[in-house]
């Protein structure tokens, strides 16, 4: 960035504590968002650098080329709030570059929002509980092609049979003792069979996943068709 004309170098003050640490105040040289009101700079024998700076734009920066550790609360009680991060206005953003992970661990973790909480993943979202998973809302929806959680919107089989004379209610809950079908032929919540195995292939590449999903769906459609046809034949005396 080009330097501004008429820079005031006389106001600059440098406090150097040897070759590894210095404080630079009122440096008129331009940075990414103007000159710095001050900058504290340190460097190790291995040339690992660290600085903290306050720019004239009001932005405070804390940069370190290696690891950073924040530890507090060794004398606090269990009920104390030891570390607090507060944004009076604007967002708080945590970003991991390259291939790192964001990990949060504690005895209990609580997420609260006055409005919405959105979870978005490029592949899978896994929720595992040792005892119970509770969903409580005025309205709860599930949208998927396969799986044992989609009976409320209709599984793929239910959607196929929807325009036919074979009703979804009949496929899900046939009357006891009916000779046509002896039990449900579409999955519901809690069914271990269902279609959950079709999507349990996170370790496969995308093409293999799609191929297996398509083949499993074809196999299940064929099984359901054979079951319905055989039951119909048995009911009508075996005629075609």
What is the full DSSP assignment across 200-214?
A: --TTS-HHHHHHHHH
Token pair, residue 200, equals 């349990």
- The partner residues of 111 in beta bridges, in order of sequence, read none
Instruction: Give the tokens for residue 112.
Output: 């609260």
Q: How many CB atoms lie within 10 A of CB 185?
A: 20
pLDDT > 90: what percent of the chain? 42
- Computed over every residue of the chain, the mean pLDDT equals 80
Res. 220 pLDDT band, cuts 50 70 90: confident
- Judge contact between 6 and 14, C-beta under 8 A: no
pLDDT digits 0-9 by tens, 24-81 = 998 888 877 888 999 999 999 999 999 999 999 999 999 999 999 999 999 999 999 9
Looking at per-residue pLDDT, the higher value among 206 and 34 belongs to 34
Residue whose pair of structure tokens reads 């003792």 in the numeric block: 177
Structure tokens at 141: 């929806």
Distance (Å, whole) CA 33 – CA 113: 33
When pLDDT is cut at 50, 70 and 90, the band that residue 199 belongs to is very low
Q: What is the pLDDT of residue 190?
A: 42
- Distance, in Å, from the CA atom of 135 to the CA atom of 116, rounded to the nearest integer, reads 15
Going by C-alpha positions, the residue among 118, 188, 191, 181 that lies closest to residue 153 is: 188
Q: Is 209 a residue whose pLDDT tops 50? A: yes
Q: Return the structure tokens found at 232.
A: 């119909």
Using an 8 Å Cβ cutoff, are 191 and 150 in contact? no
Residue-wise pLDDT tens digits, 89-134: 999 999 998 888 999 999 999 999 999 999 999 899 999 999 998 9
Percentage helix, strand, coil for the chain under 3-state DSSP, each rounded to 5: 20, 15, 65
Q: Which residue has the higher pLDDT, 230 or 166?
A: 230
How confident is the model over 9-16, as a mean pLDDT?
88
pLDDT tens for 130-181 read 999 898 888 877 777 777 676 555 566 666 666 776 666 677 677 777 776 6
Q: Is 62 left (phi over 0), alpha (psi -120 to 50) or beta?
A: beta
Q: How far apart, in whole angstroms, are the C-alpha atoms of residue 31 and residue 39?
A: 11
| Contacts of residue 172, Cβ cutoff 8 Å, sequence gap at least 6 | 151, 158, 184, 186, 188
pLDDT score recorded for residue 218: 82
The predicted structure's pLDDT at residue 153: 56
**Contact partners, residue 3, CB within 8 Å, separation at least 6:** 28, 29, 30
């Amino acid at each position: 960035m080009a330097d501004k004309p008429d820079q005031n170098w006389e106001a600059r003050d440098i406090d150097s504590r040897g070759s590894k640490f210095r404080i630079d105040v009122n440096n008129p040289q331009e940075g990414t968002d103007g000159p710095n009101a001050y900058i504290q700079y340190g460097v190790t024998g291995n040339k690992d650098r660290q600085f903290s700076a306050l720019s004239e734009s009001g932005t405070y920066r804390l940069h370190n080329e290696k690891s950073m550790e924040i530890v507090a609360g060794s004398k606090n009680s269990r009920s104390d709030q030891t570390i607090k991060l507060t944004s009076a206005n604007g967002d708080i953003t945590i970003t991991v570059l390259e291939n790192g992970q964001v990990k949060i661990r504690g005895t209990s973790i609580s997420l609260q929002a006055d409005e919405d909480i959105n979870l978005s993943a490029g592949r899978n979202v896994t929720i595992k509980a040792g005892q119970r998973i509770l969903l409580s809302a005025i309205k709860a929806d599930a949208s998927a092609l396969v799986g044992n959680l989609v009976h409320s919107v209709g599984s793929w089989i239910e959607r196929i049979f929807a325009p036919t004379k074979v009703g979804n209610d009949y496929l899900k809950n046939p009357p006891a003792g009916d000779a046509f079908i002896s039990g449900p032929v579409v999955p519901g919540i809690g069914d271990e069979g269902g279609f959950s195995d079709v999507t349990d292939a996170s370790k496969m590449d995308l093409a293999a996943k799609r191929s297996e999903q398509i083949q499993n769906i074809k196999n299940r459609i064929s099984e359901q068709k054979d079951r319905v046809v055989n039951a119909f034949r048995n009911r009508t005396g075996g005629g075609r």
